[in-house]
């Protein structure tokens, strides 16, 4: 009897855990849609055209930069990452840097390599060079599932990111969840509200007429809800980026995406 | 100014071939203002031309209605092996060029 009760309790606990997990995922796995699903057929075709996709200009530039020596040590990225394929690497970011224990996105990883290994200046956020290198790296994970880990040291960042995602902000008093969990697929003036996934960034956005990072996109959202925009590379963005990557598990990398 | 060209590497004489070019350029319209309200001067690629074996086969006068990083596609007839040479110039006088060769058989 006692054992049966214990089993029952265990089953109840498992059910509760399952329910919590299900609650965590506001969008059911079957309903998960990449941003490209909310585009018109013309932009989707542009994204899928390896030649005409304007983001490929940055990917090509990134490939050149990858082989170009830089910094005091006159080292190129390709000097260390010689024969190792970078396929799959971008899909795991943001992730904890094992040396410093800090959370890094791909941009942060590139700059850490530059400052620590190459003796070079870090590249400015949204600079053509950083966008090019990030796009080149992410492109190599094309079609691979988003796979960042939220275990271990990443857990607290994930929790912070989740809190940030659900935090009401700005004059409109909206959180990310109000649009991207609760209202996706509906119209916002001429736009269709997307699910807010990061899997196509850096992406070429028509509104910008150029390439931009995920953080630039986050800032655009914050500006849209009349909230304070944080500086590029701020830890709050990193936490949010990790939460977004977890939310997008089940989608594949599309960089360079084309977006409205 | 970076650019990408796509043409078939090989074609049969008389084939209609597709030519595509994508040029990295801001195509500044002249209608935008910067962060402190100053008008940003118009700077667009105003002429794009393509010569095939030295003969001009395509020419376009672009203006501020064309988006940034213009993409242009046209067709021409494969006549002889040779180079397709693109040249363009913007309002600031910056010139760009890119070329690619094609082998024509038959």
Asked if the C-beta of B50 comes within 8 angstroms of chain A's C-beta atoms, the answer is no
Q: Residue range A38-49: average pLDDT? A: 96
Q: Residue range A82-92: average pLDDT? A: 88
- Residue A9 in any domain: the answer is no
User: Residue A9 above 60 pLDDT?
Assistant: no
CATH number of the domain enclosing A252: 1.10.760.10
CATH number of the domain enclosing B12: 2.60.40.10
* Number of structural domains chain A divides into: 1
Task: Quote the mean pLDDT of chain B.
Answer: 95
Asked if the C-beta of B24 comes within 8 angstroms of chain A's C-beta atoms, the answer is yes
pLDDT confidence of residue A85: 85
User: Residue A19 above 80 pLDDT?
Assistant: no
- Residue A13 in any domain: the answer is no
pLDDT confidence of residue A190: 86
- Residue A256 in any domain: the answer is yes
Taking CA atoms, B101 is separated from A59, B19, B87, in Å, by: 23, 12, 15
Has A179 been annotated as catalytic?
no
- Residue A138 in any domain: the answer is yes
Please give the residue range of the domain that contains residue A123.
30-260
Alpha-carbon distance of A196 to B5, in angstroms, equals: 33
**CA dihedral in degrees (A246, A250, A252, A255; nearest 10)?**
-30
* Number of structural domains chain B divides into: 1
- Residue A15 in any domain: the answer is no
Q: Residue range A235-245: average pLDDT? A: 97
Q: Residue range A90-118: average pLDDT? A: 95
pLDDT confidence of residue A24: 76
- Residue A150 in any domain: the answer is yes
Asked if the C-beta of A250 comes within 8 angstroms of chain B's C-beta atoms, the answer is no
Please give the residue range of the domain that contains residue B72.
3-105
Write out pLDDT tens, residues A166-207: 999 999 999 999 999 999 999 998 889 999 999 999 999 999
What is the Cα A69 distance to its own chain's centre?
Answer: 28
Q: Collapse the DSSP code of A238 into the 3-class scheme (helix H, G, I; strand E, B; otherwise coil) and give the result.
A: helix
B5: nearest CA partner in chain A: A51
pTM of the prediction?
0.90
User: Is A57 close to B27, i.e. CB distance below 8 A?
Assistant: no
pLDDT confidence of residue A18: 46
Order of all β-strands in the sheet with B16-23: B3-6, B16-23, B71-77
Close Cβ partners of B45 (under 8 Å, ≥ 6 residues apart):
B23, B25, B27, B62, B66, B70, B88, B89, B90, B96
User: Is B22 close to A210, i.e. CB distance below 8 A?
Assistant: no
What is the Cα A226 distance to its own chain's centre?
Answer: 22
Alpha-carbon distance of A128 to A136, in angstroms, equals: 12
Better-predicted residue by pLDDT, A117 or A84:
A117
């Amino acid at each position: 009897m006692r054992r049966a009760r214990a089993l029952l309790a265990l089953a109840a606990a498992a059910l509760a855990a399952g329910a919590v997990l299900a609650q965590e995922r506001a969008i059911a796995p079957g309903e998960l849609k990449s941003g490209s699903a909310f585009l018109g057929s013309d932009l989707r075709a542009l994204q899928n055209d390896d030649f005409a996709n304007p983001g490929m200009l940055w990917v090509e530039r990134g490939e050149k930069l990858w082989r170009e020596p830089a910094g005091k040590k006159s080292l190129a990225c390709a000097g260390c990452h010689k024969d190792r394929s970078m396929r799959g690497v971008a899909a795991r970011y943001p992730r904890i840097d094992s040396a410093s224990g800090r959370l890094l996105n791909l941009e942060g990883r590139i700059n850490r390599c530059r400052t620590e290994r190459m003796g070079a200046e870090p590249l400015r956020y949204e600079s053509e060079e950083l966008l090019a290198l990030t796009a080149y790296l992410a492109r190599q994970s094309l079609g691979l599932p988003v796979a960042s880990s939220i275990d271990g040291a990443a857990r607290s960042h994930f929790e912070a990111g989740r809190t940030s995602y659900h935090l009401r902000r700005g004059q409109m008093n909206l959180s990310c969840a109000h649009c991207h969990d609760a209202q996706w697929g509906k119209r916002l003036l001429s736009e269709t509200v997307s699910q807010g996934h990061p899997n196509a960034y850096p992406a070429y956005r028509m509104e910008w007429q150029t390439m931009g990072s995920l953080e630039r996109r986050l800032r655009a959202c914050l500006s849209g809800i009349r909230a304070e925009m944080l500086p590029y590379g701020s830890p709050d963005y990193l936490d949010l980026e990790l939460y977004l990557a977890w939310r997008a598990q089940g989608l594949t990398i599309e960089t360079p995406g084309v977006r409205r | 100014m970076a650019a990408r060209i796509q043409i078939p590497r090989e074609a049969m004489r008389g084939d209609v071939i597709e030519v595509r070019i994508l040029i990295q350029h801001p195509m500044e319209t002249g209608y935008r203002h910067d962060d402190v309200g100053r008008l940003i001067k118009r700077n667009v690629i105003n002429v794009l031309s393509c010569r095939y074996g030295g003969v001009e086969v395509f020419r376009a006068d672009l203006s501020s209605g064309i988006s940034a990083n213009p993409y242009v596609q046209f067709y021409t007839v494969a006549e002889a092996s040779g180079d397709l040479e693109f040249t363009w110039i913007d309002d600031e006088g910056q010139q760009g060029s890119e070329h690619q060769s094609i082998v024509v058989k038959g």
